[in-house]
A and B are shown apart, each in its own frame.
Chain A
Amino acid sequence: MAKEQIAAPKTQEGFTTWLKDNLPVVIVSVFSLALLIAVYIKGGPPQIFNILVTGGMWSLLATGLALVFGVMNIPHFAHGESFMVGAFVGYFVFNPLNQILFENPNPLLKVTAPILAILAAGAVGAVLGVIIERIIFAPLRHRTKQGWVMNAFLLTVGISFVLTNGTTLVLGPNFRGIPRFYDVDAVELAGAFIAVDRIMATAIALVTIALLWFFLRQTRTGRAIRAVSQDETGAQLVGINLDFIHTLTFSLATATAAISGASLLFMFQAYPTVGVTPLYFSWYVVMLVGLGNIAGAIVGGFIVALLQSSTQLFIGLSWQSVVPTVVMILVLVMAPSGLFGSEVKGVQEQ
């Protein structure tokens, strides 16, 4: 009798329980799909490709944010400045190479020059991440863990302030941009013309995310990072070097942001406050999906790009700073820890 009662709901109401468990995901998917169709009808294929390009970028940036918050409990507010540094490095590497190419053409260099610039940006970003973590967060972490989330947040605000104004001081407030990475004709895809640069930027974003995902899931170090994000003390007990993991995580996040900054140089010119928009939208992503949720951040990037694109199409570009707040308020009032929830210990602590 009792067995039947337990077994019966599973078979009969299997679908409803599944629906109950995954209600946020279902609602979000249905809503996104409807919005996507609406955007397609109004804007056509170019809009869809636009969503892919910006979505890939927000995903990559938000993944870095989620990683840093999940593992180190740092609400990273200087993420936009990593983007800015990447854009500057990309510019200062690509421009001389382009100059050389202009004087003596070389087909191999022509193809690899943008890649070199982006890789250089990633390398500089990684080093910058190590430096920031070692000289700023490590001392604080060793001194006290009390009120860590808020203190770390304010520290990143300070870092962002110093990096932005320091760049203005050294390089001036000028815009430094390039018209395009690849000087070739746009490719025709499904009736829309898309610049090769855009395809490349999307590909780089997706490949970087995939590599990061593989690294976190499949390698020993990646598993150690996830262990630290789940339980710091436990991780330490099984012999994981916490300092190394923290530095590596921060460095990874900075490097990915720098890569996206460099690969989007044709869209976002390099100037000291270029990081504000990427920071705003990547925070929008992680707040929507739930802080520290890496898988959610990847999906959320595309959802935010879709929302952005539909705002632009149906409401108007000038309302782009008002609509996200309204959406976020609605979502957070209904689901205080984000659409897909977050299981980060830091959120509960503070």
Chain B
Amino acid sequence: MTVKESQLEGQTGLWGKFVNFLNGIGFSPFGLVLLIVIAVMPNFEPFSQEYVLRWMIMGAFLAAQSVAFDFTAGYINIVNFGFAALLGLGAYTSGIFANTTPFLLFAPGLNPWLTIWLGAIMAGLVGFLLGVLTLRLRGIFAAVMAWFVGIALMGLVNNLTELTRGPLGMNPRKFLDTPDNLPYFYIILIMMVGIYITLKLVTRSNIGLAFKAIGQNPDAAKASGINPTKYLVFNFTLSAFFAGLLGGFYAHYFGSLTPSTLMHTSKTVEVLAIAYIGGRGSLWGGIAVAFPFIFFIEYLRSNFTNLPGLHLVIYGVLMILIMIYYPDGLSGAYHWLVGKIKGLLGLKKEQAET
């Protein structure tokens, strides 16, 4: 049996090895092609225009957020309702360290490339504490607790005016001196792919299995020897770490931070909607949805300026419809389609084997 399998692999040769490698890091050949298309797109008209590039950056930013969000929501089935606040915490930490260095008063601030990691660590630390705090609580308690912690973080940012300038907003310096958007697009794209591959590798391992077990039934998972505490805290920490990293990107790309535009609960809901429409527990679903969505939304926003908030209503309605009638989301639809096609092809294969 094993000989046959290895023979089969040998037969497919280099291409087979390549596909196996891709599968190992969480890509299908089709997905890779799409990613390359997205990566190359900004070099051609009309996507090379600066405003379209900005949309693409927002799309990649939203996509990366949805990956980090889905890592918690889709696997251990706890909605981190303070996600946007953790992202904001990372953004503010990075921004503060990049502008002024609190402990080295003579230094003109650290390099943003370094501070985004400080922001990520800070957010990861709070994520760790949040995990420790909520591990005694069940699903909905944990979600509401995360929400409260998020609101408290926003309150802190509003109140610590000496560091953050409060509601006035602060202006962290940018990564690069150029006014071009193209370099930033590649920065966020690399971040997105990096986060995706890291989290995919984690979920592919035994840890991912433990996450799924905890998400489906914590008691059964506990009975079969999984320590929910350890995995829950690990999951929260990693998700928050990447949220903080993305916050750092936001800070040094836009160069302006205000608590209400960054840390508000409605920002979490936007990410949540993307992740759920994409399909929970897939990680890539959010990426696939985010790009078309950004274009759709910007189209609505520029063509229906007399109807502010129309895109948000559509967000919400879509999310409700998908939750009621098709909870698998886009990734579920994709797997269904692939299954159908494989079923048609597989029939032939079986006949050949017999």
Query: Which A residues have a C-beta under 8 Å from some C-beta of B?
Result: 75, 136, 139-140, 143, 147, 149-151, 153-155, 157-159, 161-162, 165-166, 168-169, 173, 280, 283-284, 287, 291, 318-322, 324-326, 328-329, 332-333, 336, 346-348, 350
| B144 beta carbon closer than 8 Å to chain A | yes
- Which parts of B235-294 form the interface with A (CB within 8 Å)? 266, 269, 272-273, 276
Other-chain residue from A140, A157, A162, A280 in contact with B151 (beta carbon distance below 8 A): A280
B151 pairs with A169, CB closer than 8 A: no
Q: Given contacts A322-B156, A326-B152, A336-B136, is CB(A166)–CB(B313) below 8 Å?
A: yes
- Which parts of B44-59 form the interface with A (CB within 8 Å)? none
Give bound CA distance, A107 to B140, whole Å.
Answer: 50
Give bound CA distance, A154 to B325, whole Å.
Answer: 14
Q: Which of B17-25, B99-107, B316-324, B340-348 contacts A (4 or more CB under 8 A)?
A: B316-324
Other-chain residue from A149, A168, A332, A347 in contact with B145 (beta carbon distance below 8 A): A332
B141 pairs with A158, CB closer than 8 A: no
A153 pairs with B320, CB closer than 8 A: no
B152 pairs with A321, CB closer than 8 A: yes
**Chain B residues closer than 8 Å to A151, beta-carbon distance:** 323, 327
Q: Which of B29-37, B182-190, B203-211, B302-310 contacts A (4 or more CB under 8 A)?
A: B302-310
Top-7 shortest CB links A-B: A321-B155, A325-B152, A162-B316, A161-B316, A165-B312, A165-B309, A158-B320
With an 8 Å Cβ cutoff, the count of chain B residues facing the other chain is: 42
A318 pairs with B269, CB closer than 8 A: no
B141 pairs with A332, CB closer than 8 A: yes
The B interface is mostly helix, strand or loop, or mixed, namely helix
B139 pairs with A350, CB closer than 8 A: yes
Give bound CA distance, A347 to B152, whole Å.
Answer: 25
Other-chain residue from B148, B307, B323 in contact with A155 (beta carbon distance below 8 A): B323
**Chain A residues closer than 8 Å to B176, beta-carbon distance:** none
- Which parts of B127-150 form the interface with A (CB within 8 Å)? 133, 136-141, 143-145, 147-149
Give bound CA distance, A329 to B327, whole Å.
Answer: 33
**Chain B residues closer than 8 Å to A322, beta-carbon distance:** 152, 155-156, 159
Other-chain residue from A136, A149, A321 in contact with B154 (beta carbon distance below 8 A): A321
Give bound CA distance, A158 to B325, whole Å.
Answer: 14
B324 pairs with A291, CB closer than 8 A: no
Closest to B313 in A: A165
Give bound CA distance, A336 to B144, whole Å.
Answer: 13
Other-chain residue from B138, B269, B316 in contact with A350 (beta carbon distance below 8 A): B138
Give bound CA distance, A312 to B163, whole Å.
Answer: 23
Give bound CA distance, A284 to B145, whole Å.
Answer: 10
**Chain B residues closer than 8 Å to A326, beta-carbon distance:** 152
**Chain B residues closer than 8 Å to A329, beta-carbon distance:** 133, 145, 149
A319 pairs with B155, CB closer than 8 A: yes
Other-chain residue from B136, B140, B159, B317 in contact with A153 (beta carbon distance below 8 A): B140
A161 pairs with B315, CB closer than 8 A: yes
**Chain A residues closer than 8 Å to B145, beta-carbon distance:** 287, 328-329, 332
Give bound CA distance, A336 to B159, whole Å.
Answer: 29
| B77 beta carbon closer than 8 Å to chain A | yes
B323 pairs with A140, CB closer than 8 A: yes
Q: Given contacts A169-B307, A324-B148, A328-B145, is CB(A158)–CB(B312) below 8 Å?
A: no
A158 pairs with B323, CB closer than 8 A: yes
Instruction: Knowing that A154-B319, A333-B133 touch, tell me 19 more A-B residue pairs with CB under 8 angstroms.
Output: A151-B327, A155-B324, A157-B269, A158-B320, A158-B323, A159-B320, A161-B312, A161-B315, A162-B317, A165-B309, A165-B316, A283-B144, A283-B147, A291-B141, A322-B156, A324-B148, A324-B152, A325-B149, A350-B77
**Chain A residues closer than 8 Å to B313, beta-carbon distance:** 161-162, 165-166, 169
Give bound CA distance, A59 to B145, whole Å.
Answer: 20
**Chain A residues closer than 8 Å to B120, beta-carbon distance:** none
| B87 beta carbon closer than 8 Å to chain A | no
Give the distance to chain A from B277, nearest Cβ to Cβ, in Å: 11
Closest to B154 in A: A321
| B158 beta carbon closer than 8 Å to chain A | yes
Closest to A318 in B: B159
Give the distance to chain A from B23, nearest Cβ to Cβ, in Å: 28
Q: Given contacts A153-B143, A291-B140, A350-B138, is CB(A158)–CB(B307) below 8 Å?
A: no
Give bound CA distance, A350 to B79, whole Å.
Answer: 12
Q: Please, could you name 22 A-B residue pairs with CB atoms under 8 Å apart, sorted by A?
A: A75-B140, A150-B143, A154-B79, A157-B269, A158-B273, A158-B316, A161-B312, A162-B317, A165-B310, A165-B313, A165-B316, A168-B308, A283-B148, A291-B140, A318-B159, A321-B155, A322-B159, A325-B148, A325-B152, A332-B133, A332-B141, A348-B138
B 168-202 to A, binary, CB cutoff 8 A, 1 in contact else 0: 00000000000000000000000000000000000
Give bound CA distance, A151 to B156, whole Å.
Answer: 31
A169 pairs with B139, CB closer than 8 A: no
Closest to B264 in A: A276
B136 pairs with A287, CB closer than 8 A: no
**Chain A residues closer than 8 Å to B159, beta-carbon distance:** 318-319, 322
Listed residue (B307, B312, B320, B327) with the most chain A CB atoms within 10 angstroms of its CB: B320
Closest to B135 in A: A336
Give the distance to chain B from A208, nearest Cβ to Cβ, in Å: 25
**Chain A residues closer than 8 Å to B312, beta-carbon distance:** 161, 165
B144 pairs with A75, CB closer than 8 A: yes
Give bound CA distance, A189 to B138, whole Å.
Answer: 46
A350 pairs with B137, CB closer than 8 A: no
Give the distance to chain B from A148, nearest Cβ to Cβ, in Å: 11
**Chain B residues closer than 8 Å to A280, beta-carbon distance:** 151
Listed residue (B147, B154, B323) with the most chain A CB atoms within 10 angstroms of its CB: B323
**Chain B residues closer than 8 Å to A347, beta-carbon distance:** 138, 140-141
Give bound CA distance, A169 to B133, whole Å.
Answer: 39
Give bound CA distance, A350 to B216, whole Å.
Answer: 9
Other-chain residue from B79, B137, B317, B319 in contact with A150 (beta carbon distance below 8 A): B79
A169 pairs with B309, CB closer than 8 A: yes
Give bound CA distance, A169 to B272, whole Å.
Answer: 22
Other-chain residue from A159, A161, A319 in contact with B266 (beta carbon distance below 8 A): A161
B272 pairs with A154, CB closer than 8 A: yes
Other-chain residue from B148, B273, B317, B324 in contact with A139 (beta carbon distance below 8 A): B324
Closest to B149 in A: A325
Closest to B132 in A: A333
**Chain A residues closer than 8 Å to B133, beta-carbon distance:** 329, 332-333
Q: Given contacts A150-B77, A159-B320, A166-B313, is CB(A332)–CB(B140) below 8 Å?
A: no
